[in-house]
Structure 1
Amino acid sequence: MKLKLIGISLLLLMGCSSTRLVSTWKNPDIVLFDAYQVLVVGMVQDDSARMEFESRFADALKDQGVDAMRSIDLFDVEFTSSQRSEQELEEVEQQLLDKGFDAILFTKVVGTENRRTFREHINEVDKMLMRFSTDYLEHQEIYYDPEYYDTFNIYHAETSLYCICVGKEIELVWRGEVDVTEPTNVDKAIGSYVKLVTKSMGEEDVIF
Protein backbone atom coordinates (compact mmCIF):
# COMPACT_ATOMS: atom_id res chain seq x y z
CA MET A 1 0.00 0.00 0.00
CA LYS A 2 1.41 3.33 -1.06
CA LEU A 3 1.46 5.91 1.71
CA LYS A 4 0.97 9.53 0.58
CA LEU A 5 2.18 11.52 3.57
CA ILE A 6 3.58 15.03 3.38
CA GLY A 7 5.93 16.03 6.19
CA ILE A 8 5.61 12.60 7.79
CA SER A 9 7.65 12.19 10.95
CA LEU A 10 9.97 9.43 12.04
CA LEU A 11 7.56 8.66 14.84
CA LEU A 12 4.76 7.86 12.43
CA LEU A 13 7.04 5.70 10.36
CA MET A 14 8.06 3.86 13.49
CA GLY A 15 4.43 3.41 14.52
CA CYS A 16 3.92 0.11 12.78
CA SER A 17 2.55 -3.37 13.11
CA SER A 18 5.86 -4.81 11.90
CA THR A 19 9.32 -3.63 12.94
CA ARG A 20 11.97 -6.11 11.82
CA LEU A 21 15.75 -6.04 11.81
CA VAL A 22 16.68 -6.91 8.24
CA SER A 23 20.46 -6.71 8.20
CA THR A 24 23.49 -5.42 10.09
CA TRP A 25 27.02 -4.59 9.06
CA LYS A 26 30.02 -4.19 11.34
CA ASN A 27 33.39 -2.75 10.40
CA PRO A 28 35.66 -5.81 10.11
CA ASP A 29 38.61 -3.78 11.39
CA ILE A 30 36.87 -3.20 14.74
CA VAL A 31 36.51 -6.13 17.14
CA LEU A 32 35.19 -4.27 20.18
CA PHE A 33 33.96 -0.69 20.32
CA ASP A 34 33.26 0.97 23.66
CA ALA A 35 31.54 4.34 23.63
CA TYR A 36 31.21 6.53 26.70
CA GLN A 37 29.61 9.71 25.32
CA VAL A 38 27.25 9.34 22.35
CA LEU A 39 25.32 11.94 20.37
CA VAL A 40 21.91 10.58 19.32
CA VAL A 41 20.74 12.02 16.00
CA GLY A 42 17.26 11.37 14.64
CA MET A 43 16.96 13.01 11.22
CA VAL A 44 13.33 14.17 11.35
CA GLN A 45 11.53 17.32 10.16
CA ASP A 46 9.07 17.53 13.04
CA ASP A 47 10.77 18.82 16.20
CA SER A 48 8.40 17.10 18.65
CA ALA A 49 8.80 13.78 16.84
CA ARG A 50 12.56 14.22 16.78
CA MET A 51 12.62 15.03 20.49
CA GLU A 52 10.54 11.96 21.38
CA PHE A 53 12.61 9.57 19.29
CA GLU A 54 15.98 10.92 20.44
CA SER A 55 14.83 10.93 24.06
CA ARG A 56 13.79 7.27 23.93
CA PHE A 57 17.07 6.23 22.31
CA ALA A 58 19.18 8.33 24.69
CA ASP A 59 17.36 6.85 27.68
CA ALA A 60 18.01 3.33 26.39
CA LEU A 61 21.72 4.09 26.13
CA LYS A 62 21.80 5.62 29.61
CA ASP A 63 20.13 2.50 30.99
CA GLN A 64 23.17 0.60 29.67
CA GLY A 65 25.60 2.99 31.38
CA VAL A 66 26.41 5.07 28.29
CA ASP A 67 26.31 8.86 28.53
CA ALA A 68 24.02 10.04 25.70
CA MET A 69 22.90 13.45 24.47
CA ARG A 70 20.13 14.36 22.03
CA SER A 71 21.11 16.26 18.90
CA ILE A 72 18.09 18.51 19.38
CA ASP A 73 19.90 19.89 22.44
CA LEU A 74 23.03 20.58 20.39
CA PHE A 75 21.92 21.58 16.87
CA ASP A 76 20.00 24.86 16.80
CA VAL A 77 16.86 25.32 14.69
CA GLU A 78 18.69 27.26 11.99
CA PHE A 79 21.24 24.49 11.50
CA THR A 80 18.65 21.89 10.46
CA SER A 81 16.32 24.25 8.56
CA SER A 82 18.48 24.53 5.45
CA GLN A 83 21.25 22.86 3.51
CA ARG A 84 24.71 22.67 5.12
CA SER A 85 28.13 22.41 3.55
CA GLU A 86 30.82 19.80 4.12
CA GLN A 87 32.94 22.40 5.88
CA GLU A 88 30.12 23.16 8.33
CA LEU A 89 29.72 19.47 9.10
CA GLU A 90 33.46 19.14 9.68
CA GLU A 91 33.25 22.02 12.16
CA VAL A 92 30.43 20.19 13.98
CA GLU A 93 32.52 17.03 14.11
CA GLN A 94 35.42 18.95 15.63
CA GLN A 95 33.12 20.54 18.20
CA LEU A 96 31.88 17.09 19.22
CA LEU A 97 35.44 15.87 19.58
CA ASP A 98 36.35 18.90 21.68
CA LYS A 99 33.36 18.23 23.95
CA GLY A 100 34.43 14.66 24.60
CA PHE A 101 32.01 12.74 22.38
CA ASP A 102 33.38 9.48 21.01
CA ALA A 103 30.43 8.31 18.88
CA ILE A 104 27.39 9.44 16.89
CA LEU A 105 24.30 7.21 16.66
CA PHE A 106 22.54 8.41 13.52
CA THR A 107 19.04 7.26 12.54
CA LYS A 108 17.22 8.22 9.35
CA VAL A 109 14.33 6.95 7.27
CA VAL A 110 15.02 5.95 3.66
CA GLY A 111 12.69 4.59 1.00
CA THR A 112 12.93 2.31 -2.03
CA GLU A 113 10.44 1.25 -4.65
CA ASN A 114 10.67 -2.46 -3.99
CA ARG A 115 12.28 -5.08 -1.76
CA ARG A 116 14.71 -6.19 -4.46
CA THR A 117 16.19 -2.70 -4.78
CA PHE A 118 16.58 -2.48 -1.00
CA ARG A 119 18.34 -5.83 -0.81
CA GLU A 120 20.76 -4.72 -3.52
CA HIS A 121 21.37 -1.55 -1.56
CA ILE A 122 22.32 -3.25 1.71
CA ASN A 123 24.58 -5.69 -0.12
CA GLU A 124 26.64 -2.92 -1.72
CA VAL A 125 29.02 -2.66 1.24
CA ASP A 126 31.70 -0.91 -0.80
CA LYS A 127 29.31 1.99 -1.42
CA MET A 128 28.41 2.48 2.23
CA LEU A 129 28.79 5.99 3.58
CA MET A 130 31.74 5.62 5.92
CA ARG A 131 31.70 9.12 7.44
CA PHE A 132 28.99 10.91 9.41
CA SER A 133 29.40 14.12 7.40
CA THR A 134 28.98 12.27 4.09
CA ASP A 135 25.90 10.43 5.34
CA TYR A 136 24.39 13.65 6.71
CA LEU A 137 25.04 15.60 3.51
CA GLU A 138 23.56 12.82 1.39
CA HIS A 139 20.26 12.81 3.30
CA GLN A 140 19.94 16.27 4.88
CA GLU A 141 16.90 17.18 2.77
CA ILE A 142 14.89 14.97 5.14
CA TYR A 143 14.91 17.95 7.52
CA TYR A 144 13.56 20.62 5.19
CA ASP A 145 12.08 19.10 2.00
CA PRO A 146 8.31 18.59 2.56
CA GLU A 147 8.11 16.30 -0.48
CA TYR A 148 10.89 13.96 0.64
CA TYR A 149 8.53 11.09 1.45
CA ASP A 150 5.94 11.64 -1.27
CA THR A 151 7.05 8.98 -3.73
CA PHE A 152 7.99 6.23 -1.28
CA ASN A 153 5.82 3.15 -1.14
CA ILE A 154 8.11 1.01 1.05
CA TYR A 155 9.81 2.48 4.11
CA HIS A 156 13.05 1.43 5.76
CA ALA A 157 15.06 2.91 8.63
CA GLU A 158 18.81 2.87 9.11
CA THR A 159 20.72 3.38 12.33
CA SER A 160 24.45 3.96 11.92
CA LEU A 161 27.12 4.23 14.60
CA TYR A 162 30.05 6.48 13.75
CA CYS A 163 33.27 6.67 15.75
CA ILE A 164 34.73 10.06 16.67
CA CYS A 165 38.36 9.13 17.04
CA VAL A 166 41.34 11.43 17.58
CA GLY A 167 43.61 11.45 14.53
CA LYS A 168 41.07 9.62 12.35
CA GLU A 169 38.25 10.55 10.05
CA ILE A 170 34.88 9.81 11.59
CA GLU A 171 34.19 6.31 10.33
CA LEU A 172 31.34 3.86 10.26
CA VAL A 173 31.52 1.25 13.03
CA TRP A 174 28.12 -0.42 12.67
CA ARG A 175 24.91 -0.10 10.69
CA GLY A 176 21.51 -1.73 11.15
CA GLU A 177 18.73 -1.82 8.56
CA VAL A 178 15.16 -2.09 9.85
CA ASP A 179 11.89 -2.76 7.99
CA VAL A 180 9.06 -0.43 9.02
CA THR A 181 5.54 -1.11 7.73
CA GLU A 182 1.86 -0.30 8.41
CA PRO A 183 2.04 2.78 10.72
CA THR A 184 -0.40 2.20 13.60
CA ASN A 185 1.02 2.21 17.15
CA VAL A 186 3.69 4.84 17.79
CA ASP A 187 4.84 4.03 21.35
CA LYS A 188 5.00 0.29 20.86
CA ALA A 189 6.88 0.59 17.58
CA ILE A 190 9.49 3.04 18.87
CA GLY A 191 10.14 0.75 21.81
CA SER A 192 10.51 -2.22 19.47
CA TYR A 193 12.85 -0.29 17.20
CA VAL A 194 15.12 0.84 20.03
CA LYS A 195 15.12 -2.63 21.56
CA LEU A 196 16.01 -4.27 18.25
CA VAL A 197 18.90 -1.93 17.55
CA THR A 198 20.40 -1.87 21.05
CA LYS A 199 20.10 -5.66 21.36
CA SER A 200 21.86 -6.18 18.05
CA MET A 201 24.67 -3.76 18.92
CA GLY A 202 25.17 -5.54 22.23
CA GLU A 203 25.35 -8.95 20.54
CA GLU A 204 27.98 -7.63 18.13
CA ASP A 205 30.11 -6.02 20.89
CA VAL A 206 29.26 -2.48 19.85
CA ILE A 207 28.94 0.20 22.59
CA PHE A 208 27.65 -2.17 25.30
Structure 2
Amino acid sequence: MKKLLVFAILILGGCSNASLVENWKNPDNVIFTAYKVLIVGMTYNEDARADFETKLKKEFEKRNVEAMRSIDLFDVSFTDSRKSEEELDDVERQLLDKDFDAILFTKIVGSEDRKTFLKSIAEWSKYKGDFSDDYMSNQDIYYNSNYYEPFTVYHAETSLYCICEGKERSLVWRGSIDITDPEDIEKTIDKYVKLVVVAMEEQDLIFRKNSDGKGSDL
Protein backbone atom coordinates (compact mmCIF):
# COMPACT_ATOMS: atom_id res chain seq x y z
CA MET A 1 0.00 0.00 0.00
CA LYS A 2 2.76 2.45 0.95
CA LYS A 3 4.61 1.73 -2.30
CA LEU A 4 1.49 2.50 -4.34
CA LEU A 5 0.97 5.81 -2.57
CA VAL A 6 4.59 6.81 -3.13
CA PHE A 7 4.15 5.99 -6.79
CA ALA A 8 1.06 8.15 -7.04
CA ILE A 9 3.01 11.07 -5.62
CA LEU A 10 5.57 10.57 -8.37
CA ILE A 11 3.07 11.61 -11.06
CA LEU A 12 4.27 8.91 -13.39
CA GLY A 13 3.43 5.64 -15.09
CA GLY A 14 4.32 2.06 -14.25
CA CYS A 15 7.25 -0.20 -14.96
CA SER A 16 6.68 -3.25 -17.18
CA ASN A 17 2.92 -2.65 -16.83
CA ALA A 18 2.82 0.81 -18.42
CA SER A 19 1.16 1.10 -21.78
CA LEU A 20 -0.23 3.79 -24.06
CA VAL A 21 -3.99 3.35 -24.04
CA GLU A 22 -5.11 6.17 -26.29
CA ASN A 23 -3.90 9.41 -27.78
CA TRP A 24 -5.88 12.20 -29.37
CA LYS A 25 -4.48 14.73 -31.81
CA ASN A 26 -6.17 17.96 -32.84
CA PRO A 27 -7.03 17.48 -36.54
CA ASP A 28 -6.07 21.11 -37.15
CA ASN A 29 -2.45 20.26 -36.31
CA VAL A 30 -1.23 17.80 -38.93
CA ILE A 31 2.36 18.60 -37.96
CA PHE A 32 3.24 20.66 -34.91
CA THR A 33 6.69 22.15 -34.38
CA ALA A 34 7.85 23.93 -31.25
CA TYR A 35 11.21 25.49 -30.49
CA LYS A 36 10.90 26.24 -26.79
CA VAL A 37 8.76 24.09 -24.51
CA LEU A 38 7.80 24.39 -20.85
CA ILE A 39 7.58 20.99 -19.12
CA VAL A 40 5.08 20.85 -16.26
CA GLY A 41 4.79 17.84 -13.98
CA MET A 42 1.96 18.47 -11.55
CA THR A 43 2.64 16.98 -8.13
CA TYR A 44 3.09 18.35 -4.61
CA ASN A 45 6.30 16.29 -4.23
CA GLU A 46 9.14 18.59 -5.36
CA ASP A 47 11.75 15.83 -5.69
CA ALA A 48 9.49 13.72 -7.87
CA ARG A 49 8.55 16.71 -9.98
CA ALA A 50 12.21 17.62 -10.54
CA ASP A 51 13.16 14.05 -11.49
CA PHE A 52 10.37 13.69 -14.02
CA GLU A 53 10.80 17.11 -15.60
CA THR A 54 14.58 16.64 -15.84
CA LYS A 55 14.27 13.39 -17.78
CA LEU A 56 11.77 14.83 -20.23
CA LYS A 57 13.94 17.93 -20.65
CA LYS A 58 16.85 15.72 -21.68
CA GLU A 59 14.71 14.08 -24.37
CA PHE A 60 13.91 17.47 -25.86
CA GLU A 61 17.52 18.59 -25.74
CA LYS A 62 18.71 15.40 -27.45
CA ARG A 63 16.50 16.47 -30.35
CA ASN A 64 17.78 20.06 -30.33
CA VAL A 65 14.55 21.46 -28.90
CA GLU A 66 14.95 23.99 -26.09
CA ALA A 67 13.01 23.02 -22.97
CA MET A 68 12.67 24.32 -19.43
CA ARG A 69 11.42 22.63 -16.29
CA SER A 70 8.52 24.33 -14.56
CA ILE A 71 10.40 23.86 -11.31
CA ASP A 72 13.01 26.30 -12.66
CA LEU A 73 10.48 28.81 -13.91
CA PHE A 74 7.75 28.87 -11.27
CA ASP A 75 8.91 30.13 -7.90
CA VAL A 76 7.71 28.58 -4.65
CA SER A 77 4.98 31.17 -4.21
CA PHE A 78 3.40 30.15 -7.51
CA THR A 79 2.56 26.60 -6.45
CA ASP A 80 1.95 27.52 -2.81
CA SER A 81 -1.40 29.09 -3.66
CA ARG A 82 -4.23 28.43 -6.08
CA LYS A 83 -4.25 30.51 -9.24
CA SER A 84 -7.14 32.28 -10.91
CA GLU A 85 -7.79 32.30 -14.64
CA GLU A 86 -6.46 35.85 -14.82
CA GLU A 87 -3.22 34.86 -13.11
CA LEU A 88 -2.73 31.94 -15.49
CA ASP A 89 -3.42 34.20 -18.46
CA ASP A 90 -0.64 36.41 -17.15
CA VAL A 91 1.66 33.37 -16.94
CA GLU A 92 0.94 32.55 -20.58
CA ARG A 93 1.72 36.10 -21.61
CA GLN A 94 5.02 35.90 -19.75
CA LEU A 95 5.82 32.63 -21.51
CA LEU A 96 5.14 34.26 -24.88
CA ASP A 97 7.43 37.12 -23.92
CA LYS A 98 10.14 34.53 -23.17
CA ASP A 99 9.59 32.92 -26.61
CA PHE A 100 7.92 29.73 -25.40
CA ASP A 101 5.54 28.24 -27.93
CA ALA A 102 4.29 25.09 -26.16
CA ILE A 103 3.56 23.55 -22.76
CA LEU A 104 3.80 19.81 -22.07
CA PHE A 105 1.61 19.16 -19.03
CA THR A 106 1.49 15.83 -17.14
CA LYS A 107 -0.69 14.65 -14.29
CA ILE A 108 -2.15 11.39 -12.95
CA VAL A 109 -5.83 10.59 -12.63
CA GLY A 110 -6.84 7.29 -11.03
CA SER A 111 -9.97 5.28 -11.57
CA GLU A 112 -11.20 1.88 -10.50
CA ASP A 113 -13.87 1.98 -13.17
CA ARG A 114 -12.00 1.43 -16.44
CA LYS A 115 -15.16 1.63 -18.53
CA THR A 116 -15.96 5.08 -17.17
CA PHE A 117 -12.44 6.26 -17.92
CA LEU A 118 -12.47 4.91 -21.47
CA LYS A 119 -15.78 6.64 -22.04
CA SER A 120 -14.15 9.93 -21.09
CA ILE A 121 -11.46 9.34 -23.72
CA ALA A 122 -14.18 9.36 -26.35
CA GLU A 123 -14.99 12.92 -25.29
CA TRP A 124 -11.47 14.25 -25.94
CA SER A 125 -12.27 15.23 -29.52
CA LYS A 126 -14.90 17.60 -28.10
CA TYR A 127 -12.50 19.21 -25.62
CA LYS A 128 -12.12 22.93 -26.32
CA GLY A 129 -10.30 24.05 -23.22
CA ASP A 130 -6.82 25.49 -22.94
CA PHE A 131 -3.90 25.12 -20.54
CA SER A 132 -5.43 27.42 -17.91
CA ASP A 133 -8.66 25.35 -17.85
CA ASP A 134 -6.69 22.15 -17.38
CA TYR A 135 -4.40 23.64 -14.74
CA MET A 136 -7.21 25.20 -12.70
CA SER A 137 -9.32 22.05 -12.63
CA ASN A 138 -6.40 19.95 -11.36
CA GLN A 139 -4.33 22.27 -9.18
CA ASP A 140 -5.49 20.59 -5.96
CA ILE A 141 -2.79 18.02 -6.78
CA TYR A 142 -0.23 20.52 -5.47
CA TYR A 143 -1.86 20.88 -2.05
CA ASN A 144 -3.63 17.66 -1.16
CA SER A 145 -1.38 14.78 -0.09
CA ASN A 146 -4.45 12.53 -0.09
CA TYR A 147 -5.40 13.43 -3.66
CA TYR A 148 -4.67 9.92 -4.94
CA GLU A 149 -6.43 6.82 -3.69
CA PRO A 150 -4.76 3.39 -4.05
CA PHE A 151 -6.40 2.31 -7.30
CA THR A 152 -5.44 -0.95 -8.98
CA VAL A 153 -4.99 0.91 -12.26
CA TYR A 154 -3.54 4.40 -12.58
CA HIS A 155 -4.22 6.60 -15.57
CA ALA A 156 -1.68 9.26 -16.47
CA GLU A 157 -2.36 12.06 -18.93
CA THR A 158 0.16 14.14 -20.82
CA SER A 159 -1.18 17.11 -22.78
CA LEU A 160 0.57 19.34 -25.31
CA TYR A 161 -0.70 22.92 -25.50
CA CYS A 162 0.16 25.51 -28.12
CA ILE A 163 0.80 29.00 -26.77
CA CYS A 164 1.93 30.36 -30.12
CA GLU A 165 1.50 34.06 -30.85
CA GLY A 166 -1.49 34.69 -33.10
CA LYS A 167 -2.95 31.23 -32.51
CA GLU A 168 -5.53 30.01 -30.05
CA ARG A 169 -3.82 28.67 -26.93
CA SER A 170 -5.42 25.28 -27.16
CA LEU A 171 -4.91 21.56 -26.86
CA VAL A 172 -2.76 20.04 -29.61
CA TRP A 173 -2.43 16.49 -28.27
CA ARG A 174 -3.33 14.42 -25.25
CA GLY A 175 -2.09 10.93 -24.45
CA SER A 176 -3.30 8.44 -21.85
CA ILE A 177 -1.02 5.87 -20.26
CA ASP A 178 -2.31 3.06 -18.03
CA ILE A 179 -0.18 1.82 -15.15
CA THR A 180 -0.88 -1.27 -13.08
CA ASP A 181 0.93 -2.47 -9.95
CA PRO A 182 4.02 -0.23 -10.20
CA GLU A 183 7.09 -1.53 -8.37
CA ASP A 184 10.33 0.12 -9.49
CA ILE A 185 9.91 3.92 -9.43
CA GLU A 186 13.06 4.64 -11.43
CA LYS A 187 12.05 2.30 -14.25
CA THR A 188 8.54 3.71 -14.04
CA ILE A 189 9.78 7.21 -14.83
CA ASP A 190 11.98 6.01 -17.69
CA LYS A 191 9.20 3.96 -19.28
CA TYR A 192 6.70 6.78 -19.04
CA VAL A 193 9.02 9.28 -20.68
CA LYS A 194 9.79 6.86 -23.53
CA LEU A 195 6.11 6.19 -24.13
CA VAL A 196 5.41 9.92 -24.41
CA VAL A 197 8.32 10.45 -26.79
CA VAL A 198 7.28 7.58 -29.07
CA ALA A 199 3.65 8.70 -29.13
CA MET A 200 4.63 12.25 -30.09
CA GLU A 201 6.98 10.96 -32.80
CA GLU A 202 4.19 8.90 -34.29
CA GLN A 203 1.94 11.96 -34.35
CA ASP A 204 4.61 14.32 -35.81
CA LEU A 205 4.41 16.55 -32.76
CA ILE A 206 7.73 18.31 -32.07
CA PHE A 207 9.65 15.02 -32.09
CA ARG A 208 10.35 13.48 -35.50
CA LYS A 209 11.38 9.99 -36.50
CA ASN A 210 14.92 9.45 -37.73
CA SER A 211 15.68 9.66 -41.45
CA ASP A 212 15.51 5.86 -41.62
CA GLY A 213 11.91 6.04 -40.45
CA LYS A 214 12.72 4.68 -37.02
CA GLY A 215 11.81 6.43 -33.82
CA SER A 216 12.90 5.96 -30.23
CA ASP A 217 13.30 2.43 -28.95
CA LEU A 218 11.34 1.21 -25.96
Q: TM-score, normalised by structure 1?
A: 0.92
Deviation at 1:5, TM superposition (A): 3.0
Deviates more, 1:193-202 or 1:50-59: 193-202
Report the more deviating stretch, 22-31 or 166-175.
166-175
Query: How far apart in 1 are the matches of 2:32 and 2:7?
Result: 36
Q: Which residue of 2 aligns with 1:10?
A: 10
Which residue does 2:216 correspond to in 1? none
Provide the aligned length of Structure 1 versus Structure 2: 207
Structure-1 separation of matches of 2:134 and 2:142: 13
Question: Gapped runs of 5+ residues in structure 1?
Answer: none
Q: Give the TM-score normalised by the residue count of structure 2.
A: 0.88
Counterpart for residue 140 of structure 2: 141
Conserved 8 A contact 2:10-2:48: yes
Code of the residue aligned with 1:142 in structure 2: it is I
Contact 1:106 1:159 (C-alpha < 8 Å) held by counterparts? yes
Distance 1:89 1:62 in 2: 26
Alignment RMSD:
2.1
Aligned residue runs from structure 1 range 102-117, under 5 A: 102-117=101-116
What residue number does 2:167 align with? 168
Unaligned runs of 5+ residues in structure 2 are: 208-218
Write the distance in 2 (CA, Å) between the matches of 1:128 and 1:2: 35
* CA deviation string 1:156-181 (max 9, x = no partner): 10000000111233111111100012
Question: Are the structure 2 counterparts of residues 3 and 123 from structure 1 closer, same or farther at C-alpha, using a change threshold of 3 Å?
Answer: farther
1:4–1:64 distance in 2 versus 1, CA, 3 Å: closer
Percent identity (aligned):
56
Which string of whole-angstrom CA distances, capped at 9 and with x for unpartnered residues, describes residues 5-60 of structure 1?
3894125x535341100000000011111111000000011001000000000101
The runs of 4+ residues in structure 1 deviating greater than 6 Å are 1-4
Q: Higher mean Cα deviation, 125-134 or 83-92?
A: 125-134
Q: Matched residues in 2 for 1:164 and 1:53: separation?
A: 22
Using the alignment, how far apart are the partners of 2:10 and 2:179 within structure 1?
10
Give me the whole-angstrom Cα distance separating, in 2, the residues matched to 1:194 and 1:121: 23
